[in-house]
Amino acid sequence: MEARHVPVLVVGGSLVGLSTSVLLADQGVPHLLVESHRGTAIHPRAASFHQRTMEVFRSVGLQAAVEAAADEEFVQNGAIVSVESLAAEKMTYFFRHFNEGVEELSPTSRLFITQIGLEPLLRSHAQERGAEHRYATELVSFEQDGDGVTSVIRTRDGGATETVHSDYLVAADGAHSLAREQCGIGLDGRGSFADCVTIYFRADMRALIGDRNLSVVYVNHPELLGFFRFSITGDSGFLAVFSTTEPDGSRDTHVAEDMDADRCVALVRKALGSPDIAVQVENVQRWTAAAAWAAHFQDRRVFLAGDAAHVMPPTGGFGGNTGVADAHNLAWKLAMVTGGTAGPALLDTYDAERRPVAALTVEQAYTRYVLRVDPSLSREGLAPPMDDPSIELGAVYRSDAVLEPTDDDGAPLDDPRTPTGRPGTRAPHVLVERDGVTVSLLDLFGRDFVVLAGPGGQAWCDAAPAVGADLGIRLDAHRIAADGTLIDREGAVGAALGISGDGAVVVRPDGVIGWKADVLADDPRATVDQAMRRLLFR
Ligand SMILES: Cc1cc2nc3c(=O)[nH]c(=O)nc-3n(C[C@H](O)[C@H](O)[C@H](O)COP(=O)(O)OP(=O)(O)OC[C@H]3O[C@@H](n4cnc5c(N)ncnc54)[C@H](O)[C@@H]3O)c2cc1C
């Protein structure tokens, strides 16, 4: 039987596979997603989602639905603290509230939602836009050549195997990625350093929590290190345990080994600081704390995303967010290449852009693990802690899909509070007026390239549609001026983008600045045409 063909095969239908599917579906890319589980997440797992992730969801119209579902699960905007036990008086604050200091940086907020709450939203959104998801179906093997990837998939429970041919394969198949292994891609970084457990339990903690709004509670108890998250009702939650202390005082970082129900109850009671509280253990998940990233995120037609590409300890809540950022970086490139508007070499920029950022984020998660959880770990080459908003919003991409960042100072991150507007950085959130309606600048981006010009840059805007027509793409353009198509009442955009006069930028579909001209060119049409051809690898 002849193999069925799809442009993209996505392997793994958890957070990152589903995010990839949402973004591909939104851009009209036909694809098949296979997931070996029978449905979406049954355990809460990742819950803290950062503004950049929410901006991605906003770009496909999912922000309100995610916020509403999040409010069902958690009182939002709680503190992140460290205690000896929940009952102890003393609390050390990492954040007084979860959005402390970042409210102005984005049209979105950081929020808490479990994967149980989030994944069905992603699944429905993608499926409503034509995505095909096959659950209880696993990738068995694949081969690739110059023409594409030929994969063997199999339904569970002894079902039939099937051959699928795709132009590209996105491996969002998690930390033990079969795709990564079959490509022979090794891991860089620090490896694993603890075998941990997450204990899902029920207990009436309302009196212990009181009227405190606590999002994440790190527990630094003489007998255990870990962290709590509580449900909105205060009668259930989980305790993730990183390590325990043995009777001889030594630290046991292999807590997953002998974790029976009695021990789970004892640990939860210790961490709560309430020795007699009734605790009912519902589930125990074992996982490994590790800090590593794939040596390559791409092997020809196969791309690694999410935990398949990088693993990090949960300190900082960066893991899932970094995976969504991978999906965001890759999806528009796949859309343009499979749609024929960009050359395949555009896809080679995925590894160049995402791997350094992921490696930095892994190191930052490790630094937080050492400083917040386990100071006994090696501090060799420990990266100094960097500012959270810069990690979340300030990724700097350097690749051939970022043109001429002549003023590049080599900084690994941009500070979103003082954006540089340099090619390779996220175009900032600024409120502007369009057709009498106030929108975020970010709302202009998502599927197409966009030209933004300063007040004196009308010639750029005149040139853009013609360039778009020549290239067969949509290329909208806006002049930011009191009489322009974007009115900048606060005078902030020009400064933030560095185009206050007659300069211009081209912003990529992912909201990253791809090219910039400080002043008007002699021949704006030829200049934009040349920049766009380079950005599209044409
Ligand atoms: C205790 C804890 C708390 C965390 N908290 C946060 C947080 O607050 N914020 C955050 O951003 N991150 C957090 N993380 C990290 C986050 O959970 C992960 O980074 C994220 O879930 C990774 O998603 P993924 O889709 O890449 O991989 P996974 O969730 O591992 O999904 C991979 C999927 O691929 C499927 N699969 C595997 N092989 C195949 C195959 N051959 N064929 C078909 N399907 C296959 C699997 O069944 C699975 O569903 C936390 C992690 C832990 C352990």
**For the segment 466-522, what is each residue's pLDDT rounded down to a tens digit?**
999 999 999 999 999 999 999 998 888 888 888 889 999 999 999 999 999 999 999
| Mean pLDDT along residues 112-120 | 94
In whole angstroms, give the CA distance from residue 322 to residue 327: 9
Give the nearest ligand 1 atom to 240 CA: 1
Q: Which pLDDT does position 405 carry in this prediction?
A: 66
Check if the beta carbon of residue 289 is closer than 8 Å to that of residue 175: no
Pocket lining: 215 vs ligand 1, CB cutoff 6 Å: no
pTM, two decimals, is: 0.96
Residue type, 73: E
User: Helices (H) and strands (E) in the chain — how many of each?
Assistant: 13, 25
Q: Which pLDDT does position 95 carry in this prediction?
A: 85
Probe ligand 1: pick from 20, 34, 36, max atoms within 8 Å of CB? 36
Report pLDDT digits (tens) over 381-429.
Answer: 999 999 999 999 999 999 999 997 677 888 999 999 999 999 999 999 9
At residue 215, does pLDDT exceed 70? yes
In whole angstroms, give the CA distance from residue 280 to residue 481: 62
pLDDT category at 44 given cuts 50, 70, 90 is confident
Structure tokens given for 400:
């051939």
Residue (of 25, 11, 53) closest to 123 by Cα position: 25
CA of 182 to the centre of ligand 1 (A): 19
pLDDT category at 1 given cuts 50, 70, 90 is low
In whole angstroms, give the CA distance from residue 425 to residue 414: 7
> Which residue bears the tokens 């991605």?
56
Residue (of 218, 203, 381, 229) closest to 291 by Cα position: 381
Probe ligand 1: pick from 153, 173, 230, 241, max atoms within 8 Å of CB? 173
Helix (H) or strand (E) holding 269: helix 261-272
Calculate the dihedral angle through the C-alpha atoms of 33, 36, 39, 45, rounding to the nearest 10 degrees. -100
In whole angstroms, give the CA distance from residue 58 to residue 67: 10
At residue 46, does pLDDT exceed 90? no
- The CB-based long-range contact list for 340-343 (8 Å cut-off, 24+ gap) reads 341/471, 341/472, 341/473, 341/536, 342/536, 342/537, 342/538, 343/536, 343/537, 343/538
In whole angstroms, give the CA distance from residue 196 to residue 268: 14
The rounded mean pLDDT for the chain is 94
Find the helix packing angle between 319-338 and 51-59, rounded to 10°. Answer: 30
How is 197-240 classified by DSSP, letter by letter? Answer: EEEEEE---HHHHTT--EEEEEEEETTEEEEEEE-TTSSEEEEE
Give the nearest ligand 1 atom to 15 CA: 25
Q: Which pLDDT does position 246 carry in this prediction?
A: 86
- For residue 372, report the phi and psi dihedrals to the nearest 5 degrees: -95, -25
Residue (of 299, 344, 346, 307) closest to 326 by Cα position: 307
Q: Which pLDDT does position 375 carry in this prediction?
A: 83
CA of 112 to the centre of ligand 1 (A): 16
Q: Which residue's CA is the nearest one to ligand 1's atom 50?
A: 46
Strands 214-221, 187-202: parallel, antiparallel or unpaired by DSSP?
unpaired
Pocket lining: 153 vs ligand 1, CB cutoff 6 Å: no
Helix (H) or strand (E) holding 466: helix 458-471
Residue 484 CA: distances (Å) to CA of 6, 107, 458, 459, 504: 43, 22, 9, 12, 14
CA of 323 to the centre of ligand 1 (A): 9
In whole angstroms, give the CA distance from residue 465 to residue 234: 56
Q: Which residue's CA is the nearest one to ligand 1's atom 6?
A: 46
Helix (H, G, I), strand (E, B) or coil at 469: helix
Identify the residue with better confidence: 406 or 228. Answer: 228
Of 73-77, 133-137, 289-293, 351-355, least confident by mean pLDDT is: 73-77
Pocket lining: 316 vs ligand 1, CB cutoff 6 Å: no
Strands 31-34, 132-134: parallel, antiparallel or unpaired by DSSP?
parallel
The number of C-alpha atoms within 13 Å of 467 and in the hemisphere containing its C-beta is: 28
Rounded percentage of the chain residues whose pLDDT exceeds 90: 85
Other C-beta atoms closer than 10 Å to the C-beta of 396 total: 25
> Which residue bears the tokens 């899932």?
320
Q: Which pLDDT does position 318 carry in this prediction?
A: 97
Rounded percentage of the chain residues whose pLDDT exceeds 70: 99
